[in-house]
Structure 1
């Protein structure tokens, strides 16, 4: 374990040739491990994304939360191409490096698109699938997502960004905005972030999509979750996913923006845990 004072820095492992920062809780727990894939906000890390729910999930199972290539404290290889193909390779690399033949998979936003693509391409590596505020199906770029992907570092811009994510503005304190702003200006963070989704950003939305026929063929039991007031990824995305995936169920949180796991963390954790614990 790392003794680094920053809680966003966990352990590291070589995954698909990339030194990868990840968090590994309750590593001796029996059963299918839970792999959490974060979103794509500026300065994001696995810890920042999942910290309210990781301890709850880890009461019952092993929980792994990596920083995906280009994000957080995972290396940013020179000349690396940020694409769905490479992110799937990296995620499978994390599983292989940790000797995880099969996982339950939870993806948030960008991470939902990645989780969906992983399940489509490697269905045998996924037991159950949870998609939260997920991209991965066609939609028109929202002003909210355009602002997130077009972020230019400043405290004021980060404060506006946080307001976009949350329905309850009381969650968005100056302290939180300052913390996330500081995270976004660490060496290399903004450079990789701005390289991922350049304008025109509709191309970025389209590049995250999996083919409709492949989604409709998914065999996995899937829980689709969305915040009703999400201004970043439209609720219609989750309605589409729930329609296309044969074994899907849908839960919509009212009075909730894009931060389901933060704004309704206890209910979110209970919902996901109950879904994952159901008899197969």
Structure 2
């Protein structure tokens, strides 16, 4: 379904038993809501309903305008989530939020902005609680590549970074299919948010939520693993989890292992 908000037309899927606990899922930059195809099936079997959506300029969600690019931040993306929930499930309060990569940052930020609202937070493959200063030149290079040569070269490089080494058959093909649907406008808007956030000083807002910081053992996109371990230790209800032989997008790379971790965490 398409949800028209004050700013964008969002492609949204609301699935599962409408009376079951609600889980929000937020995908990685260059992916789309299909990142969660397998995850939502596992969640439905486990007794949860789900809302997933495409970020601005991704999948089938509308693109940001030139005037909007550079002005959108994670707080704006959290407001998008609120608008989506209000439109498709106005009487519901989310039980949990799961995010991957930029979605992982968004999951934590959403919980900060709404203390006590969700019970469980899963931040998967998030690049720290503050923007990584050393990564900013890389983002500028990626935007330049996308601008000069179109989406295909950047999509190939992104998938190689996401899913290193041995991988289940078809996984890279599925990832590439998603990344090729990303627009330049969407990439620029989200990348700008990724290099301009700083939330460490607000970790104290997470007082009642159970928060899982989950990383892939072979994820090269998030900086030193120690940063994620430290982040989990600084959150009152935080825990750290590492998936073996896994890259940046566990919902695709190691689906079954990821799903078991999530379902067990939600049931704990």
* TM-score interval, normalised by the smaller of the two chains: 0.7 to 0.9
Of structures 1 and 2, the one with the larger relative CO (CA 8 A, separation 6+) is: 2
Higher helix share: 2
Conserved? CA contact 2:78–2:110, under 8 Å: yes
1:28 and 2:1 matched: no
User: Aligned residue for 1:5?
Assistant: none
Please list every run of 5 or more consecutive structure 2 residues that lacks an aligned counterpart in the other structure.
none
Matches within 5 A, 1:196-215: 196-197=190-191, 204-210=193-199, 212-215=200-203
Change (3 A) 1:17 1:145: same
| Residue 70 of structure 1, aligned match among 48, 57, 62 | 57
Matches within 5 A, 1:97-176: 97=87, 98-99=89-90, 100-138=92-130, 139-142=132-135, 146=139, 151-152=145-146, 153-171=150-168, 175-176=173-174
Q: Distance in 2 between matches of 1:19 and 1:150?
A: 27
Could you state the TM-score of these two structures normalised by the residue count of structure 2? Answer: 0.83
User: What SS does the corresponding residue of 1:58 show, helix, strand or coil?
Assistant: helix
1:228 and 2:217 matched: yes
Please list every run of 5 or more consecutive structure 1 residues that lacks an aligned counterpart in the other structure.
1-10, 199-203
Aligned residues: 254
Change (3 A) 1:119 1:12: same
Question: How far 1:121 sits from its partner (Å)?
Answer: 1.0
Conserved? CA contact 1:107–1:130, under 8 Å: yes
Question: How far 1:179 sits from its partner (Å)?
Answer: 2.6
Conserved? CA contact 2:99–2:105, under 8 Å: yes
Conserved? CA contact 2:125–2:222, under 8 Å: yes
User: Aligned residue for 1:7?
Assistant: none
1:179 and 2:177 matched: yes
User: Aligned residue for 1:190?
Assistant: 184
Question: How far 1:145 sits from its partner (Å)?
Answer: 6.1
